[in-house]
Structure 1
């Protein structure tokens, strides 16, 4: 069982759901309507609909692999783990490579959640958000080689933007990462606050039985400890 102690105020890594929540064009967005409301009724009730990949959500391996795990195949403690933040600022449509990840001030250890901040949250809700940076195959392989537990991104997808995909597009980045049993959180918020730091993350997916993914609430606790801080402390002991 995974256990950890956290202190301080959690950072909310989740975007609120609104009718304008960005989503991949081929998938339905978020919709909500009031069924009844006080004071005209005794209680207020809201109905909503969204797909498993709308808003801040997590992809399970079944999203890309017929024999992959469903989201409810993971035990609850899988989603609570140590985490590391890496910042890689990129422009529209640019690739994030293994060299970019190697150049970061710190890296993940086996079993860490990797929070990868591209700075793209600044465009959330605008058309530019759909022309996001994306992972190169070398970066996907780097994540697998480092035995990351879960990848957390501040973009719609780790793949190239829809409008930049060629005729041979085959969801290759998802297949590399999910094929290594590494779920992917997409559309996370506030990852820029975590870059260069270590901490802990708690991910709470909706337990949709047998699903390929789920909307989720994500929190982070990052105390400001970096690799340099750890090395400085070690040198004094």
Structure 2
């Protein structure tokens, strides 16, 4: 079996999403005084490679502790769309299905190439990484729901297009540059408002922001952001993929380790999860 790490290291320089604080790591005890080393971490749950839980984007969504193992670990596909999208591009279903086989119920990892601009990389550019990356369209959110994607990950700061998030309110200068770049308003670019039915109250909702969070999460299609590690070495391949966050009761997200497993019996893993051979204990 070959295991490939798809996780960025976490440390004091790990950047938070736009408007989110960075992390802190410091000593609370040391050998020379306490005869033991102890440290403390303070961090946003959306720091580094992390998985957004359902309650992050929808009413009544599950917390991190409630995610079953067969949600977190399953067969899936890793796809390279870097030659299909550029700065501020939209990711469509065809960009994925033309490159790799995606099956109903899969886990999906998307490589946009923006991993190159993350913290500590030779081409580091955090403004470009967090505010100019490609993101999913409304069509992609609906396609993922139809495909019953367990979760998906992206090598960028958000699963949503940055100009389809609150970044457009926080950085009006970048919104103006974006609209000049695409030659139209953000509303025209994204196709105007999208509509969906609130899964608990039945309220009809019109929205113009966060479709990969609001629309997708209530259908159970959550996502991981800042996917990293050796992602480039396993593009356009199928694998068993797993995300391993803390089991936080009440947690809406969590930094996690993401791994791809090759040369392993995919059917055996799926059957084991289905039969309860891999159990949630404790």
In the superposition, the TM-score normalised over structure 2's length comes to: 0.71
**Matched residues in 1 for 2:59 and 2:19: separation?**
20
d(CA) in 1 for partners of 2:72 and 2:45? 17
Q: Measure how far apart 1:25 and its partner are.
A: 2.3
Take 1:185 and 1:158, find their aligned partners in 2: how far apart are those partners?
8
Give me the whole-angstrom Cα distance separating, in 2, the residues matched to 1:111 and 1:27: 32
Residues 38-53 of structure 1 aligned to structure 2 (within 5 Å)? 38-53=31-46
Note if contact 1:115-1:194 (Cα within 8 Å) is conserved in structure 2: no
Mapping 1:147-158, distance limit 5 Å: 147-158=148-159
For 1:1-237, what aligned pairs fall within 5 Å after superposition? 7-8=1-2, 10-89=3-82, 90-104=85-99, 106-125=100-119, 126-127=125-126, 128-130=128-130, 131-161=132-162, 162-163=167-168, 169-189=208-228, 190-223=230-263
Maintained 8 Å contact 2:5/2:231: no
Cα shift at 1:57:
0.8
Residues 155, 188 of structure 1: 8 Å contact kept: yes
Root mean square deviation, CA, Å: 2.0
Segments of 4+ moved more than 3 angstroms: 163-169
Q: Distance in 1 between matches of 2:141 and 2:86?
A: 19
Q: How far off is 1:101 after superposition?
A: 2.0
Change (3 A) 1:177 1:133: same
Q: Deviation string for 1:56-97 (max 9, x for gaps)? A: 111111111112122212223431211211110132211111
Q: Alpha-carbon deviation of 1:157? A: 0.6
Which residue of structure 1 lines up, in the alignment, with residue 191 of structure 2? none
Long gaps (5+) in structure 1? 1-6, 225-237
Number of matched pairs: 216
Quote the Cα distance in structure 1 between the aligned partners of 2:55 and 2:69. 18
Deviates more, 1:211-220 or 1:158-167: 158-167
* Larger helix fraction of residues: 2
Structure 2: any 5+ residue segments left out of the alignment?
120-124, 169-173, 176-185, 188-206, 265-282
